[in-house]
Structure 1
């Protein structure tokens, strides 16, 4: 049986719609809490797939969150070996940093809410991405940081506010700044966990919930096809 390691940074930002597709594809799932695990003891190459999930901290905050240093070391080893790796939001930023790219607070403010992705000249290099590149399928954005495109990576998706929304390397590495994994029900935990951030950003929870209930079902359907195609294309 194939194995997948899910690295969490906060409990409520879970794998969402990705988890049932991992099970469907035959993966045995193991979980790791990045903040409390001894990441230095984890064998970076032991799993068929490693998934790094989101969280409300920055890659550059290693002084305050020392586990990030060990997480980056794990990622560097895994990516150097070209082992299948997926990063979502903070996970994508960690991947970019491990690949030598700069991660930093974005100049265009926080991008929180639902909007469609736009294609790039290289979107077709990742056929699975086509399921999410539709004006009829807005995706959830929830970040304030951004990153430069890592050397050798293909630029797969963008928005007007932040260009680097997704990148891929070969058929084994994918980083997505947006959140394809979210569901309407799962987001109820986000509204509680990120209540202070939403208040600081002047975003009304009731309004965001209403928009999420409108758009999340279409994203869940599109993400199911996206996950299936991407997982099926992984090496091995």
Structure 2
């Protein structure tokens, strides 16, 4: 639930047992934003109407419209549509980013392109320069990846903010207040150490090697994604004061 002293509380949709908000919880709290985390994957009910001043949709091992396996995704999509219609700040991570792309008119494909796991170099694109969250960040930050599905087409009019060597659509903005990312800014290296070694081995990847690489990259990566979290918190606070 919301943290004491917070100026606003964001609704967070968690889609899997190991897919919580991670260190974004502390960073957003630092910016005055509490979190109301709904464990949708365990049957906790999502609201029908978005009353929170922000929506954060986390990752999960599903496609955005995988309603048969994850029936709560339909309501999550409806909440995201409401947020877009009302210009409520949105941050979508991995599955959440793919969902934002899809509901806004883009396209996502399962098991598309080359999978990405662990610490990965991103490249910020020219449109990132004027973005409220990504403007002024290092040109080549690193971030943790963990995906086999991918966005293949951004919504019309979306601002394309970042890419990687294997996956073009790493970060984008829809409208003025909705951001989607393919990577995991909330994941610290210790979570990488808990990933399924069997799943990674199927893709020819060693978990311990990923963990070590994430630890090496984390001092600089954490500074970048903390700054993004604080900027998003400021956006939410501004929205909360004016709504």
Indicate yes or no: 2:19 matched with 1:17: no
What is aligned with 2:72? 67
CA distance, structure 2, for counterparts of residue 201 and residue 209 of structure 1: 16
Indicate yes or no: 2:150 matched with 1:146: yes
- Conserved in 2, the CA contact under 8 Å of 1:182 and 1:216? no
Indicate yes or no: 2:118 matched with 1:118: no
Trace 1:174-193 onto structure 2 (pairs within 5 A).
Answer: 174-189=179-194, 191=195
- The alpha-carbon distance between structure 1 residues 34 and 125, as it changes in their structure 2 partners (threshold 3 A), is farther
SS in structure 1 at match of 2:87: coil
CA distance, structure 2, for counterparts of residue 107 and residue 224 of structure 1: 29
What TM-score results when the alignment is normalised by the length of structure 2? Answer: 0.86
CA distance, structure 2, for counterparts of residue 113 and residue 34 of structure 1: 26
CA distance, structure 2, for counterparts of residue 44 and residue 200 of structure 1: 40
- Conserved in 2, the CA contact under 8 Å of 1:184 and 1:217? no
- Conserved in 2, the CA contact under 8 Å of 1:45 and 1:83? no
What TM-score results when the alignment is normalised by the length of structure 1? Answer: 0.88
CA distance, structure 1, for counterparts of residue 170 and residue 28 of structure 2: 23
Indicate yes or no: 2:107 matched with 1:105: no
- The alpha-carbon distance between structure 1 residues 106 and 149, as it changes in their structure 2 partners (threshold 3 A), is farther
- The alpha-carbon distance between structure 1 residues 171 and 232, as it changes in their structure 2 partners (threshold 3 A), is farther
Q: Kindly tell me the number of residue pairs found equivalent between the two proteins.
A: 230
- Conserved in 1, the CA contact under 8 Å of 2:197 and 2:206? no
CA distance, structure 1, for counterparts of residue 143 and residue 138 of structure 2: 9
SS in structure 1 at match of 2:188: coil
CA RMSD of aligned residues (A): 1.9
What is aligned with 2:81? 76
- Conserved in 1, the CA contact under 8 Å of 2:89 and 2:235? no
CA distance, structure 2, for counterparts of residue 21 and residue 212 of structure 1: 19
SS in structure 2 at match of 1:118: strand
> What is the Cα deviation at residue 185 of structure 1?
2.4
Indicate yes or no: 2:45 matched with 1:38: yes
Residue by residue over 1:39-82, the C-alpha shift from the partner in whole angstroms, topping out at 9 and shown as x without a partner, is 3xx04421111111111122242222222122212211221221
- Conserved in 1, the CA contact under 8 Å of 2:90 and 2:178? yes
Return 5+ residue gaps in structure 2 as ranges.
1-6
CA distance, structure 2, for counterparts of residue 204 and residue 188 of structure 1: 10
What is aligned with 1:89? 94
SS in structure 2 at match of 1:156: strand
What is aligned with 2:33? 27
> What is the Cα deviation at residue 133 of structure 1?
3.9
